Chains A and B, each alone.
Chain A
């Protein structure tokens, strides 16, 4: 199995999302590369026999877009101690086999404990045991996918710890031990620097830069005193120079990918994305081409101070519990509770979970806001977050919130029916079966008012009404092809 990508340099591109489709269509020349995040396209079902589905037509659509396709996994990062579910790994493998990328990448982070998902990438335990755990995970991924693997340098909002390796040293040891590539996320490293972790130059000096095949760049903003890796727009000014200085130091870099989170695109506009890509193309053209340099072993200097009293699994459990709002129940948890970054991460997780809910249950969410007020809606969400841990997939987060609402029994007229309607819509999107929801009141004026951001002037009239929900969009015309992919992925 190849550990080194057998490809010439690819060039400049972006992380794919539907939000940048119009730019891809208008300026295909800007996209030498499109980075696909497979799990964003997966639909998690409640069916244990078929826990995930992905529509082959979606994959065909992506394959038809310009640029080389590279795979960036976002479901089960490779910095933790837990192995991914077999079904997840199988589907990732099927996706890799479909796109045949020169390499696949994942994050040097964790996002699960034995008990729950955290809903956020969290920093791994940066000790020698942490190096071994991450290397094990990378080797496991390599064995499953059978393509070269590169590992992305992560963000940590925690303060540096005396009982851990410096960031660069940790990353360097992991990629050396796993004999893999490095996805150097310069915005992540910039965040860490700005937030008081290792300075970028020192970080880079501790890395085997010959192992860098890919670079990520992005923009962010400050919240509660932390500079966030928000992927929210322009690359920050100081980072521009760092990028220009760093790219020539990477003899084997094959791609630079600009990341922008889809929900920011309508706010910043596609022209900004275009400008960033054009600038990156100019940087790319000025780089020194010296491909073929093989990595030489790095000099490992530092050792963690004192004995390692916190094994990686204990770290993951303690940090995971805190960021999902659970109480600290061990010494490391009580220590981490003092970290300002923990509260920030908890808040960010809430923003992501809230966004999932308003994205997948838009009518229910807006109805609750109109009926109870935005503060009332926030109060309900805060209670929900305190009682239900995050779900990795938006469809499951929506189901979880709907179950919570049913148990809450709010006396908001017609709320239960609106939730039932949206759950039926979600179910039809998942299984593409026609559904009929019956109403004993006229639902359309209410739905129309909600969609227009208001409440109806009068209570709905009673009567026999029903809404038939039909499948649409990708997959509706290609059900046999969908089944084909399921079969190919052994999901049955």
Chain B
């Protein structure tokens, strides 16, 4: 069973997480949410409640991957260098995120050569469609781009 742990090492707060979890958005999301829930502060993951540091959170990969992670279409305001970012995640695409992560988040074959195909890999397009920016807000920026 994969584990994610929060500990204090010297002066630093340390998260320990396996490479497999860190390399999969669905698993990473589940792990960080689990930690935040366990620490009693769902808004952030570390640092708020030092008394809980040292706990280990154990979670099942299948549970995380299959657990519905609703991300309804939302408007997110952020203070960028210029303008406002609106992030929307279409329901249809969003509903596929878990399934996608379950199926292709597998380490097996992830780092190797592409499978036999003289056609098309849909993963890039799926990921692009997962993150749809509100074009009305102009080019979205996070602190400015050189």
A positions within 8 Å CB-CB of B:
15, 17-19, 21, 37, 39-44, 58, 61, 72, 74-75, 107, 109, 119-121, 154-155, 188, 191, 220-221, 223, 228-232, 259, 261-267, 348, 351-352, 354-360, 362-363, 365-366, 369-378, 392-395, 409-413, 421-422, 425-426, 428-430, 436, 438, 442-445, 447-448, 450-458, 461, 463-474
Contacts and interface: CB of A to CB of B under 8 A. Distances in A.
Interface in B55-90: 69, 71, 74, 76-79, 85, 87, 89
B141 A371 contact: yes
Contacts of A473: 18-20, 107
Given A75-B113, A425-B22, A445 B44 contact: yes
Contact of A360 (B11, B14, B23, B141): B23
Contacts of B43: 445
Given A18-B108, A121-B118, A358-B123, A468 B15 contact: yes
B146 A409 contact: yes
A267 B96 contact: yes
A348 B114 CA distance: 13
A209 to B, nearest CB: 22
B44 to A, nearest CB: 5
Contacts of A356: 114, 121
Nearest to A259: B116
Nearest to B111: A395
B119 A348 contact: yes
Given A429-B23, A452-B71, A444 B111 contact: no
A1 B12 CA distance: 62
A363 B85 CA distance: 19
Contacts of B102: 266
Given A40-B115, A395-B111, A472 B142 contact: no
B115 A230 contact: no
A470 B16 contact: yes
Nearest to A463: B47
A183 to B, nearest CB: 10
Contacts of B15: 443-444, 465-468
B2 interface: yes
B113 A455 contact: no
A76 B104 CA distance: 24
B140 A468 contact: no
Given A395-B112, A455-B142, 13 more contacts: A37-B115, A39-B112, A40-B115, A44-B112, A266-B102, A352-B114, A356-B114, A356-B121, A366-B131, A429-B107, A445-B43, A453-B87, A454-B76
Nearest to A122: B118
A188 B130 CA distance: 31
A452 B127 contact: no
A406 B41 CA distance: 35
26 contacts: A15-B116, A17-B109, A40-B112, A58-B108, A61-B108, A74-B116, A228-B119, A259-B117, A263-B123, A267-B126, A369-B131, A371-B141, A371-B143, A378-B128, A394-B114, A410-B145, A422-B22, A442-B45, A443-B15, A444-B35, A451-B32, A455-B85, A455-B87, A456-B78, A464-B12, A466-B12
Interface of B: 2, 9-26, 28-29, 32-33, 35-36, 43-47, 69, 71, 74, 76-79, 85, 87, 89, 94, 96-97, 99-100, 102-104, 106-128, 130-133, 139-146
B143 A229 contact: no
Contacts of B78: 455-457
Contacts of B25: 362-363, 366, 450-451
List 6 A-B pairs, minimum CB-CB distance, nearest first.
Answer: A230-B119, A472-B18, A354-B124, A444-B45, A371-B142, A39-B113
B119 A220 contact: yes
Given A370-B142, A452-B29, A261 B121 contact: yes
Contacts of B36: 444, 448
Contacts of A351: 120-122, 124-125
B19 A355 contact: no
A474 B112 CA distance: 14
Given A40-B112, A365-B127, A425 B19 contact: yes
A466 B14 contact: yes
B9 A263 contact: no
Contacts of A354: 123-124, 128
Contacts of A452: 29, 69, 71
B131 A453 contact: yes
Contacts of B118: 109, 120-121, 154-155, 188, 191, 228-229, 348
B124 A358 contact: yes
A453 B71 contact: yes
Contacts of B113: 37, 39-40, 42, 74-75, 392-394
A231 B89 contact: no
Contacts of B110: 359-360, 394
A431 to B, nearest CB: 10
A350 B110 CA distance: 18
Nearest to A352: B121
Given A351-B121, A468-B15, A451 B112 contact: no
Contacts of B112: 39-44, 393-395
A2 to B, nearest CB: 24
B13 to A, nearest CB: 5
B146 A411 contact: yes
A411 B122 contact: no
Given A228-B119, A262-B103, A348-B119, A393 B17 contact: no
